[in-house]
């Protein structure tokens, strides 16, 4: 058994210069996978299983069944997982011939998959939940044959935009809206038990309609994202629009206690609106809840002449503005709408915003990375900007983002008429000519299953690179042992914390 001892010097003999923010060419077809079902579909939401496989939710449309829920699973390399559904795809017609769109996806701790959105039978739109087993079959223990339809308010058109699972209880929390007319709607939160029944311990009905003030009847509202604390409190964000005035929306945030009452420690009534830095059209689409309970909100900010910019800002747990944040103009057209629909935090504590830039006839996928102080990270892409279009399609957008364990960015949306899943590099690949010194010991070397690290501490961040300098594993040290059994044969390098690398061979 060969052992590498402390104070080890390693020199790499090749040069690798993959730019942070580039497409990951090891995924799909040069960084993206385009999926066509009926040549008329979009992907709205993405989640990653514990085994690294990628799940997306959206819809597809055909002349016979109208629009249907779709759930697709991809392997870690971007190929369709043929063990899931039919060749990796599950298509569900909620009500015969109805128009059904899945807007959000969540994975339960038992591996079951829940999609949320709406089903429209031509006369009424109902909020919809569907649960699948881990192989893509319907979970008939959930609702009625795997489906739950809900009227948030009788006679209105109801939909869900976001779904989350409360980790401790397994309860399902959703956010959306109940639409009264083209100019009026109520923001909605609802909580379901794990069998799909409404949880009546939440606001006595399981449903919370969030017209809070006596002037709310003037507005159109939408809940776009939410987070749940361990104690069951819910923070939700979205927007409030005043339809009688053009270009007049505000960011909207609320806090609700675990029993469904408003959390009055957040403003006086549990709800706050924000006008952004400009008096115009400001909408929030995604949020993060920090350990401090501060709230980071991303979306679109009106700048002028019908222009939107990416926006991000931070508020405190009581609703005051901590940082007005920043705006980012991608400038892909003369009059642009740059809107960040998705927000996630990478493994280095930086924020990834994703969305689109352009106008109704020409849009590109756009990404940026923001530092903790909400300044643009200019080391990402070109001056903090990444702009992507696929296959010469005029329309390209992404709506959601998730960060893999290896710190790569996975986004979902559409290009042309088809679903697109793309993966981008977040961390710089291992540099070539660096000389790396470590004060750790690793063994056995070569190895087949595990690498042991001789260290007095057990909280190290571990990154493993292949011989091309690509990240293949991002984890934390567990009992001084790293499982490398899933790696193919070859030469690898381990980066421990902020040190550089140790070389080992996988047989």
pLDDT tens digits for 416-439? 999 999 999 986 544 433 333 345
Buried b (16+ CB within 10 A) or exposed e, 425-459: bbbebbeeeeebebebbbbbbebeeebbbebeeee
List Cβ neighbours of 380 (8 Å cut-off, separation of 6 or more). Answer: 20, 21, 367, 368, 369, 386
Partners of 288 in beta bridges: 296
Cα(136)–Cα(130) distance, integer angstroms:
11
pLDDT value of residue 414 = 98
Cα(53)–Cα(163) distance, integer angstroms:
20
Cα(417)–Cα(427) distance, integer angstroms:
31
Q: Which two tokens stand for residue 341?
A: 């629909």
Is 107 within a domain? no
Is 116 within a domain? no
Closest by CA position to 351, among listed 330, 324, 371, 367: 371
Is 28 within a domain? no
Closest by CA position to 178, among listed 103, 241, 118: 118
Question: With contact defined as beta carbons under 8 Å apart, do 220 and 210 qualify?
Answer: no
pLDDT value of residue 429 = 47
pLDDT value of residue 42 = 98
Cα(57)–Cα(176) distance, integer angstroms:
16
Is 334 within a domain? no
Question: With contact defined as beta carbons under 8 Å apart, do 394 and 361 qualify?
Answer: yes
Question: With contact defined as beta carbons under 8 Å apart, do 454 and 443 qualify?
Answer: yes
Contacts made by residues 63-67, CB under 8 angstroms, sequence distance 24+: 65/93, 65/96, 65/97, 66/93, 66/97, 66/98, 66/99, 66/100, 67/98, 67/99, 67/100, 67/101
Check which CATH number belongs to the domain holding 449 and give it. Answer: 2.60.40
Is 89 within a domain? no
pLDDT value of residue 434 = 38
Buried b (16+ CB within 10 A) or exposed e, 466-477: beebbbbbbeeb
DSSP string, 165-187: E-TTT--EEEEEEEEEETTEEEE
Question: With contact defined as beta carbons under 8 Å apart, do 269 and 283 qualify?
Answer: no
pLDDT value of residue 17 = 43
Question: With contact defined as beta carbons under 8 Å apart, do 369 and 342 qualify?
Answer: no
pLDDT value of residue 304 = 61
Closest by CA position to 15, among listed 469, 428, 504, 498: 469
Q: Residue 481 sits in which domain range?
A: 8-16+431-506
Could you give the 3-state DSSP secondary structure of residue 490?
A: strand
Is 465 within a domain? yes
pLDDT value of residue 458 = 54
Is 426 within a domain? no
Distance from chain centroid for Cα 499: 30
Instruction: For 369-382, write each residue's pLDDT tens digit.
Output: 999 999 999 999 99
The count of structural domains within the chain is: 1
Question: With contact defined as beta carbons under 8 Å apart, do 423 and 28 qualify?
Answer: yes
Is 472 within a domain? yes
Could you give the 3-state DSSP secondary structure of residue 389?
A: coil
Cα atoms in the 13 Å half-sphere on the side-chain side of 30: 4
pLDDT value of residue 505 = 82
Cα(113)–Cα(190) distance, integer angstroms:
18
DSSP string, 289-303: E-TTS-EEEEEEEEE
DSSP string, 371-385: -TTS-B-TTTTBTTE
Closest by CA position to 186, among listed 151, 227, 231: 151
pLDDT value of residue 446 = 84
pLDDT value of residue 489 = 81
Low-confidence ranges of the chain (pLDDT < 50): 1-17, 429-438
pLDDT value of residue 445 = 81
pLDDT value of residue 308 = 81
Q: Classify the phi-psi angles of 124: left when phi > 0, otherwise alpha if psi is within -120 to 50, otherwise beta.
A: beta
Cα(178)–Cα(126) distance, integer angstroms:
9
Q: Which residue's entry shows tokens 């044959």? A: 145
């Amino acid at each position: 058994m060969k052992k590498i001892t402390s104070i080890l010097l390693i020199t790499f003999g090749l040069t690798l210069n993959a730019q942070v923010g580039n497409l990951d060419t090891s995924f799909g077809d040069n960084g993206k996978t385009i999926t066509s079902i009926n040549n008329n579909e979009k992907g709205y939401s993405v989640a990653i299983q514990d085994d690294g496989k990628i799940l997306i939710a959206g819809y597809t449309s055909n002349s016979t069944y109208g629009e249907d829920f779709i759930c697709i699973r991809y392997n870690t390399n971007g190929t369709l997982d043929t063990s899931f559904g039919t060749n990796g795809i599950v298509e569900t017609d909620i009500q015969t011939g109805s128009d059904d769109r899945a807007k959000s996806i969540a994975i339960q701790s038992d591996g079951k998959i829940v999609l949320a959105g709406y089903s429209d039978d031509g006369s009424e739109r109902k909020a919809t939940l569907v649960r699948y087993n881990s192989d893509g079959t319907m979970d008939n223990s959930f609702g009625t044959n795997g489906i739950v339809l809900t009227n948030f308010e009788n006679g209105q058109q109801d939909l869900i935009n976001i779904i989350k699972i409360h980790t401790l209880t397994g309860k399902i929390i959703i956010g959306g809206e109940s639409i009264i007319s083209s100019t009026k709607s109520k923001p909605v939160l609802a909580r379901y038990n794990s069998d799909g029944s409404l949880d009546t311990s939440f606001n006595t009905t399981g449903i919370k309609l969030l017209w809070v003030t006596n002037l709310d009847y003037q507005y159109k509202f939408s809940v776009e994202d939410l987070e749940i604390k361990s104690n069951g409190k819910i923070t939700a964000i979205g927007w409030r629009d005043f339809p009688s005035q053009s270009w007049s929306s505000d960011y909207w945030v609320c806090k609700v206690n675990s029993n469904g009452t408003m959390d009055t420690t957040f403003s006086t009534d549990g709800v706050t609106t924000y006008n952004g830095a400009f008096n115009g059209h400001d909408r929030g689409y995604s949020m993060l809840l920090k350990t401090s309970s501060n709230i980071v909100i991303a979306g679109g900010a009106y700048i002028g002449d019908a222009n939107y910019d990416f926006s991000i800002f931070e508020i405190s747990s009581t609703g005051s503005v901590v940082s007005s944040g920043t705006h980012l103009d991608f400038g892909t057209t003369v009059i642009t709408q740059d809107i960040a629909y998705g927000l996630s935090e990478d493994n280095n504590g930086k924020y990834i915003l994703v969305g689109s830039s352009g106008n109704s006839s020409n849009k590109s996928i756009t990404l940026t990375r923001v530092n903790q102080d909400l300044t643009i990270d200019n080391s990402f892409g070109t001056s903090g900007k990444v702009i992507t279009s696929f296959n010469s399609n005029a329309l390209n957008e992404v709506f959601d983002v998730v960060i893999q364990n290896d710190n790569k960015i996975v986004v979902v949306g559409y290009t042309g008429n088809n679903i697109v899943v793309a993966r981008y590099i977040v961390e710089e690949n291992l540099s070539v000519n660096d000389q790396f010194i470590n004060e750790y010991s690793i063994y056995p070397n070569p190895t087949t299953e595990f690498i042991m690290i001789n260290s007095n501490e057990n909280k190290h961040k571990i990154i493993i690179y292949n011989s091309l300098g690509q990240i293949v594993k991002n984890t934390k040290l567990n009992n001084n042992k790293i499982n490398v059994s899933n790696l193919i044969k070859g030469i690898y390098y381990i980066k421990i914390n902020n040190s550089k690398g140790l070389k080992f061979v996988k047989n």
